[in-house]
Amino acid sequence: MSEYLKAMSLRDRGAGEMDFIPFYSRFKNIAEKETRSIKITVSDLGVPRGEYMLLENYCTDKKCDCRKVMINVVEVKPPRRILATIGYGWESVEFYTKWMYGDEKIARSITGAYLELGGIQSQYAQHFLEVFNATLTDEYVNTIKKHYSMFKKIRHKSSPRL
């Protein structure tokens, strides 16, 4: 898994200030231990059986406090395609309404789990969103929050520009 995580890192690809980049790119050892995966053993929807990593990506904008994550659902085995990009905002609609300068419609669309507009989506994306929602636990949400906090703290230090 670590070889693939390394390949997915955008660290050396010129990521800009507003990009979301993999948690792995800054916390390799933690990501290797704490990256979640899901196993599909039976599916009536035609989703290929197998194991899929949930790769977390966080915003690199040091002024942004979006409190969200973009999760790429990626096959563990080759060809390791991204099959869904799931956004997850863990704060309230009120928080995101304020963050979106009063736009409650957009705030509602980014509260909780959703398919990320403009993200890579396969024919199975909706199924992965349902699996993600069904397996979302308080423990996992706390892990995401912890990773977000770690990611943002390192960005506020005088870390080298990506």
The reported pLDDT for the residue numbered 104 is 97
The reported pLDDT for the residue numbered 48 is 86
Per-residue pLDDT tens digits for 133-159: 999 999 999 999 999 999 998 744 444
127-143 exposure pattern, b = at least 16 Cβ within 10 A, e = fewer: bbbebbeeeeeeeeeeb
Per-residue pLDDT tens digits for 82-138: 999 999 999 999 999 999 999 999 999 999 999 999 999 999 999 999 999 999 999
Cβ(93)–Cβ(107) under 8 Å?
Answer: yes
The reported pLDDT for the residue numbered 47 is 84
Cβ(120)–Cβ(113) under 8 Å?
Answer: no
Per-residue pLDDT tens digits for 11-50: 333 444 458 999 999 999 999 999 999 999 987 777 889 9
10 pLDDT tier (thresholds 50, 70, 90): very low
Confidence check: pLDDT of 62 > 90: no
| Cis peptide preceding 48, ω within 30 of 0 | no
Residues with Cβ within 8 Å of residue 79, at least 6 apart in sequence: none
Secondary structure (DSSP) of the chain = -HHHHHHH--TTTT--TT-EEEGGGT-HHHHHHH-EEEEE---SS-PPPEEEEEEEEEE--TT----EEEEEEEESSTT--EEEEEEEE-S-HHHHHHHTTT-HHHHHHTSEEEEPTTS---TTHHHHHHHHHHH--HHHHHHHHHHHHHHHHHHHSSPPP-
The reported pLDDT for the residue numbered 5 is 47
